[in-house]
A and B are shown apart, each in its own frame.
Chain A
Amino acid sequence: DAGVIQSPRHEVTEMGQEVTLRCKPISGHNSLFWYRQTMMRGLELLIYFNNNVPIDDSGMPEDRFSAKMPNASFSTLKIQPSEPRDSAVYFCASRGGTSGTYEQYFGPGTRLTVT
Chain B
Amino acid sequence: AQSVSQHNHHVILSEAASLELGCNYSYGGTVNLFWYVQYPGQHLQLLLKYFSGDPLVKGIKGFEAEFIKSKFSFNLRKPSVQWSDTAEYFCAVNAGSNYQLIWGAGTKLIIKP
Total chain A interface residues with beta-carbon distance under 8 A:
22
In the bound complex, what is the Cα–Cα distance between A91 and B103 (angstroms)?
Answer: 14
Contact B101 A108 (CB under 8 A): no
Contact A56 B100 (CB under 8 A): yes
Binding-face segment, A11-19, A20-28, A61-69, A99-107: A99-107
Residues of chain B lying within 8 A (CB to CB) of residue A105: 46
Known: A42-B105, A102-B94. A109 touches B43 (CB 8 A): yes
Name the one of B32, B44, B106 contacting A106, with C-beta atoms under 8 angstroms.
B44
Q: Does B3 contact A (CB under 8 A)?
A: no
Total chain B interface residues with beta-carbon distance under 8 A:
17
In the bound complex, what is the Cα–Cα distance between A101 and B103 (angstroms)?
Answer: 16
Name the one of A42, A50, A56 contacting B106, with C-beta atoms under 8 angstroms.
A42
In the bound complex, what is the Cα–Cα distance between A100 and B49 (angstroms)?
Answer: 12
Known: A103-B49, A106-B43. A43 touches B103 (CB 8 A): yes
Q: Does A34 contact B (CB under 8 A)?
A: no
Min CB gap B27→A, angstroms: 13
Closest to A105 in B: B46
In the bound complex, what is the Cα–Cα distance between A102 and B94 (angstroms)?
Answer: 7
Closest to A101 in B: B51
Q: Does B90 contact A (CB under 8 A)?
A: yes
Known: A43-B103, A48-B99. A103 touches B46 (CB 8 A): yes
Q: Does B34 contact A (CB under 8 A)?
A: yes
Q: Does B42 contact A (CB under 8 A)?
A: yes
Contacts A102-B32, A103-B32 supplied; 18 other A-B pairs, CB < 8 Å: A42-B105, A43-B44, A43-B90, A43-B103, A48-B99, A55-B99, A91-B43, A91-B44, A93-B44, A95-B99, A101-B32, A101-B49, A101-B51, A103-B49, A106-B43, A107-B43, A108-B42, A108-B43
Partner-A contacts on B (CB < 8 A): 32, 34, 42-46, 49, 51, 90, 94, 99-101, 103, 105-106
